[in-house]
Structure 1
Amino acid sequence: MTSTQQDSDPEGVDLADASVRGLLEQAAECESVLREAAVHQLRVAYEWAISHPVLDAAETARGPVLPSVLEAPETLGGAGTPAVAAFTAEPLAVACGIAPTAATALLADALDLHHRLPVLWQQTQAELVAVWKARRVAFRTRDLSLDAALWVDRHTAGRVGSLSLGALDRLIAEAAARVDGEDLAEKEKRGRSEWDVKLKHRDPSQGGATSEIHAIGDTLDLTRFHDIVCAEAEALGSLGDGDTFEVRKAKALGVIADAQARLDLTSLLGADTSGDDRAAVRRRLIERRDAKVRLYLHASLADVAAGWSGGPGGVGTVEGLGPVTLDQIKEWAGRSRLSIQPVLHVASEDTWSVDRHDPPPRMAEQAVLRDPTCVFPWCSHPSRHADLDHIEPYEDPDEGGPPGQTNSAALAPLCRRHHRAKTAGGWSYQRTAPGTYLWTGPAGLTAIVTPTGTITLPSG
């Protein structure tokens, strides 16, 4: 292929020689095609959803029970949208080459736009509103009642395309207050159930040495804590820390954590607490503070040897975090107690097996290291938090089942949803090589999951 052919669009226009105006026209045409395709995808998603209705007992009694009715139906959209059969999203995900969670969101948005936001849906089909913006409105209004969603639809008619995202969010909040009529005290009470502190590791491509923490809680408590963080950051600056104030605030979290670990919180116990009870509480606090943070580091022996001998630092991979320099690992180790555990080599699997359903820890670890995520197509659920599934159904040896059914080659991690999909959702799979699985699903869908990604295979 020549460079001219590579730089041309499908209609043969040579973009290398196009004028500025010509390039802008091509860009506008691309945007129009993308919008039309996105609208068509929503139409397809809606038709897929309504073609998988929930079957009642009378319907299933007249014919063979379909695999999809063996599980509870799912309500993907908001109030007023029809429920769909279980595992409706999975075939669509494989056909589109997207994650099952993304397919679920696509179906939910399509249902909401049709049933809860009809005016917005008409404007989206007319390409007056970008699909991504219409889907954002669908997502943000999903928890509202049907009346509130329709109120948003009426009051944003003709305006969604021009409203900023912040203005849209404020309008949706107004709808909840005006139409749902929920008492503010009830909202505050419900909000308390959402209080939490979550640690989030960033995209592995950004490296694993930086993470995020997100807190939801009492406004006064969080404001006070933020003031303490800022005060610690200012103190670090006065002690000669040359980093920016923002970086010092992040460092201050470690300073506060270290100080908290040395506090004797038993002073908060009541005066009537016995000495034995105080000692028991103190022991529990010490145990919690001494809890170990387990990092699973994968690194070559050559990199480890070079880094520890003073050579250039190598790069390792930490499960759930991504690439991290060995220098960073050493720095972490210097600030905490470190225990090193041998890692199983998964390039060649052991042939040992056991005559029981649940694998021993070493065998389970081997399967998890081989497959770091659920092996369903495009699923990214971590295997350490998944079920270890017997690829071939396990048969009890006491009831005639063969010996040695449980071994690392016979196991694969499946998240709970896709374990159920395999059991009752019309999906089956087989292992073709270590870390490689061939899946077959409804409507002749076929996909192969490999250690480097998922590939949809042509049906037929």
Structure 2
Amino acid sequence: MTAAAATDLGPEWVQASLAADETSRDARSTLRRGLLDRVAQRRADIRAAEADELVAVTEWADLHRTDAADHLLSVAAGMLPAPRLAAWATCPVDMSGVPVDEYALAELATTLQVPDTCARELVEDALELRERLPRSWARVIALAVPVWKARLLARRTRTLSPEAAEHVDRHLAAHLHKLSTTRIKAAVDAAVLRFDPDRAQAEADQAGESRGVWFEFEPGSLEQSTGTGGTARFGGVADTPDVLAFKDALTTKAAELEVLGDESSEQVRMAKAVGIIADPQYSLDLSAAAHDALETQGDGDRRPPKRRGPLGLERPIHIHLHTSTETARVQTSGLPWAASPVSTTAIERWISELAPGVRVKVTPVVNLNDHHAVDEHEAPAHIKDRVDLRDHLCVFPFCNRRVRADRDHIDPFVPIDDGGPPGQTGDLTLARLCRYHHRVKTHGGWRYRRLTHDPGAYQWVSPLGDHYLVDGTGTTPLT
């Protein structure tokens, strides 16, 4: 139907059409909400079943304690209410203070249809939670924490001292359901540094001795072919600053290859760079050619590359020392926030093994209680630093990304010439979002605001009206 014909139908037809469109939108929203509620209910059912399975596993372990004979005597004396089956084997495995018959694990593994190692880990995790992490265990039973996340915590606390395990449980249990896996690891590492400094120093020393580079070739000598594809694998363990420097060197050479016309992907160009940096003279010649090419691009003789790498990149590494413990937090671009904490022993080794000519620059501590803002749309470096120091991760609900961070204007930026207020770009008006969630917020109908009492806390509203609170401990759905 043409626009003229539609107009001839009169305003009643227009109103009816608009009402039909509104009804259709409401129907779609109702369907979407119904399907999401169905998914949420199935997830809740799975969580309840997994928690019940974990409880059953601990009860199974109680029935197969190797000290069951002593327990049965206590039951006979009326001291304990429930009997346990006597263990026939004499191979106890201490699992968080509970001696479990090792041979009995085979029956559990076959019932679960998993290898015996998986069954053993399940029992160890369950008993660790019940015996040494009682607060976290209670939240699992109450279905407030998913089993997989509680087991992740248990796997990391098994080797801790009782004091350290209690400290982790006391500080993490209330927020465990919101914490990412990397932040759980960081909390356990911090407990080791605080309660067992000798172990932390020994691990740092051992880590220094475990450094190395390993090469993986196909069967045959180095002179022979490494397979029909002609490639080989290599990997290594080195100090964090050295690994970052090596990554920067590869990234720089990959960018130079792109400037010189190499259209391969960045990963392929970084692989080519491995051989280039092995030849210092070739590497220098390539750098000179790339910089000459960049100068000619300025005259329009050559189109600039779509993505230019960081030629001559210098990467600052910020080390935040704790005032009361032998702990530090390391922060730098390209390094996950959860790479911390780091023992001061490791940092001392980094500094002592710096190459000649490397500079160490001490910068003042940034006071996040001071706030800065400018009138331009683009945030200057000092404001970006404040946002990054406050928001370690993307602040979208349940997102743990740190890479490719944008500093998003919480309220849309309005130019001053168009009537916008001054100071729209500041640490209180910006938040850290990964590129994907920046697009979701801008084009997907999501809204959020910063809470006035906590600059690092945000309240989000989804297109369907669901509310979420995101703060330093993670994400909390709001009812």
TM-score norm. by structure 1 comes to: 0.42
* Greater Rg over alpha carbons, structure: 2
Higher RCO (C-alpha 8 Å, min separation 6):
1
**Structure-2-length-normalised TM-score:** 0.40
